[in-house]
Amino acid sequence: MEPLSRRHFLAHAAFAGAAAWLTPLSELLARAAAPPGKPRQPAQSIILLWMAGGPSQLETFDPHPGKEIAYGTGAISTALKGVQLAEGLPRTAEVLDSFAIIRSMVSKEGDHERGTYTMKTGFRPDPTVVHPSIGAVICHELPSLNTEIPRHVSILPDQWPGRGGYLGEQYDAFKTDDPINPVPDTQSFLPSSREAQRLKHLDVVERAFQRGRKSRAEATLHRETVAAARRMMSSEQLKAFDVSSEPLALRREYGDTPFGRACLAARRLTEVGVRCVEVTLSGWDTHANNHALTAGRLEILDPALAALINDLRRRDLLDRTLVVVAGEFGRTPRLNPAAGRDHWPNGFSVALAGGGIRAGTVLGETDPEGKAAPKDPVTVGELHATMMAAVGVDPNKLNQTPIGRTVRFAEGKPLAALLK
């Protein structure tokens, strides 16, 4: 090799500096969180299993068997030594070594709508700004990967699916129902010739509307929306919503329920580049008859959650997919006169598994008497910062809202104990 001249040395140094400047933020975050000598690749997608209504932590991820606050709820051993789950989660118990459990989540919102907003965005409701949900943030920040279908999807949504907020309505979740049915509004009912004629007429109208108001017309994103819809309607990726092509044994593993099918569809969607899939299981608002109603929800959740983890692992997808199980709050340690548990944002549970998460971790502890505040409380902002760090998004990034406010993506810092 020829000796390196001063000129060549400076040129190489300048190139190296430029390369460092151009390194994607997701890669820098992954390097920072990884052990020395072993870079961690960030997760590429999030599957949010949304337990709408607020599940009881005592009948799910934080049982206190034998204590008065359990009111008879038992617990079972798990694949994670020394850690128990409530007795209604036997299949999830078998894969708990893939999870990290937060048992000390705290929120300042005990209302369903406000609590949902807080848990999905990381912020309390504010009349001056609409914050984006976690799915909207990662779709905004991560590359599109040539995905021709919506990259933010909500299956079986309730009335408050993930929204784009100040990032724009184009980041709202695309809503669809049970995957046993075709995706709505994706098949044209017109002959191709008539459809082409209609589009030609639409183009005439759009060009006429643009005259003298080009910037206002462009701000509507109408042309872009129509183009994206047509790409989706003709895309092979649309088949990812259809779970009927999966082996019958696998479909049975997830459970013959809308939620089970939706979890299977979520796995398929992440494989074609969808960044966030929100799957909702409603019915956790157990103000009366808590134990029986929760047991019915667990019969649906347990097989689907365990199957999703096993399926992702078999396909070598678990490291690139972050799975989160959460609701808007938990349930009171005491039963009310109707044998129900009421709203409780003062110490509830969230489960995380997959990409970027340190499996086998249990963070926080609730009082077995149901009186004291939880140990090592975790805020909603910290949870969101952790999820963002797991997928290589900078939670401290500053953004401008439409009215000029400067806001960060998350209020808290990532929880180092939960990240690899």
What pLDDT does 326 receive?
A: 98
Give the 3-state secondary structure of residue 102: strand
Answer yes or no: do 289 and 370 share one domain: yes
Read off the pLDDT of residues 194-209 as tens digits, 9 standing for 90 and up.
656 665 656 667 676 6
Read off the pLDDT of residues 252-304 as tens digits, 9 standing for 90 and up.
999 999 999 999 999 999 999 999 999 999 999 999 999 999 999 999 999 99
Answer yes or no: do 54 and 92 share one domain: yes
Answer yes or no: do 286 and 218 share one domain: no
Crossing angle between the packed helical segments 380-390 and 112-121, to the nearest 10 degrees: 40
Read off the pLDDT of residues 131-164 as tens digits, 9 standing for 90 and up.
999 999 999 999 987 899 999 999 999 999 999 9
Contacts of 165 (CB under 8 A, 6+ apart): 121, 129, 130, 131, 132, 133, 136, 171
Cβ of 302: how many Cβ atoms within 10 Å? 19
CB 162 within 8 A of CB 73: no
Nearest one of 277, 268, 329 to 136, comparing CA atoms:
277
Answer yes or no: do 123 and 257 share one domain: yes
Crossing angle between the packed helical segments 380-390 and 134-141, to the nearest 10 degrees: 30
Q: Which residues of 37-69 are buried (b: 16+ CB within 10 A; e: fewer)?
A: eeebebbbbbbbbbbbbbbbbbbbbbbbeeeeb
Answer yes or no: do 201 and 262 share one domain: no
Q: Which two three-digit tokens encode residue 228? A: 């994206």
CATH number of the domain where residue 308 is located: 3.40.720.10
Q: Which two three-digit tokens encode residue 91? A: 């299949």
Residue 47 lies in a domain: yes
Q: Which two three-digit tokens encode residue 74? A: 């038992």
Answer yes or no: do 171 and 85 share one domain: yes
| Domain that includes residue 72, residue range | 38-182+248-418
Distance of CA 390 to the CA centre of its chain: 12
**Which of 200, 221, 241 is where one domain is finished?**
241
What pLDDT does 6 receive?
A: 36
Instruction: To the nearest 10°, report the CA torsion of 243, 246, 249, 252.
Output: -10
Give the 3-state secondary structure of residue 400: strand
Q: Report phi then psi at 135, rounded to 5.
A: -65, -40
